[in-house]
Chains A and B, each alone.
Chain A
């Protein structure tokens, strides 16, 4: 596979469930990101990992827990979510380098529905 992949593509879960979203990048990048895309709102950055270290937590509730075991994989663990957490969750990766444009490349997203 090439680029950035995400699984599952669709997920329906109850508020008491625990689930995980997976992202994998095949681009050799050193940074990965989680974004939330809700209807009628700009994409919201949730987390940033640079060289496997979390460098930003954009005031995300603790019911979202990221994990970055290596520079190619990123997870988002979900537990006790709320219906307002229903959204499209996008993963992205980039190559951070001094002076570079550092373009982010996105995966296809996971459509999450919380009942």
Chain B
């Protein structure tokens, strides 16, 4: 079974600095999808970034980028120029390749990293 591990329960960063959140996963599949979700104190889970395993290029969304190391099964999130609004719980998630028409679309989540941004 697939598992997702986030080894940093809490992280802190100064405003305008860069922080990296780590995520590792375990799978025997060769094709899959990886996600980072953000859950601010208001609780709405928001998609930050996603990565298809078959793509070698690391995904980037504005100040957010990932370092995807497929062989190492590592999927870290880098937040550049941190802002106060980035303070939230960040969840890494894994999804198997989709089997359209029958199988589920199960996301497997890590336990999350609580990011604090210091002014």
Q: Which residue numbers of A lie inside 8 Å of B, CB to CB?
A: 31, 33, 40-43, 45, 48, 50, 55-56, 88, 90, 92, 94, 96-109, 111
C-alpha spacing A14/B69, complex, angstroms: 48
C-alpha spacing A101/B47, complex, angstroms: 13
In the complex where A41-B111, A42-B4, A102-B105 touch, is A96 in contact with B43 (Cβ < 8 A)?
no
Whether the pair B43, A108 counts as a contact (CB closer than 8 A) is: yes
In the complex where A45-B107, A101-B52 touch, is A55 in contact with B98 (Cβ < 8 A)?
no
B45 at the interface (CB under 8 A from A): yes
Contact string, B88-112, partner A, CB cutoff 8 A, digits 1/0?
0001000100101111111111111
Query: Which residues in B have their C-beta under 8 angstroms from that of A90?
Result: 45
Q: Which residue numbers of B lie inside 8 Å of A, CB to CB?
A: 4, 33, 35, 37, 42-47, 50, 52, 91, 95, 98, 100-112
Closest to A40 in B: B111
29 A–B pairs (Cβ distance < 8 Å), ordered by A: A42-B91, A42-B108, A42-B109, A43-B107, A43-B109, A45-B104, A48-B106, A50-B104, A55-B102, A55-B103, A56-B106, A88-B43, A97-B98, A98-B98, A98-B100, A99-B100, A101-B33, A101-B52, A102-B98, A102-B105, A104-B47, A104-B107, A105-B47, A106-B46, A108-B43, A108-B44, A109-B44, A109-B45, A111-B43
Whether the pair B111, A55 counts as a contact (CB closer than 8 A) is: no
Closest to B9 in A: A40
C-alpha spacing A98/B98, complex, angstroms: 7
In the complex where A42-B109, A43-B109, A106-B45 touch, is A56 in contact with B100 (Cβ < 8 A)?
no
C-alpha spacing A106/B45, complex, angstroms: 6
Closest to A88 in B: B43
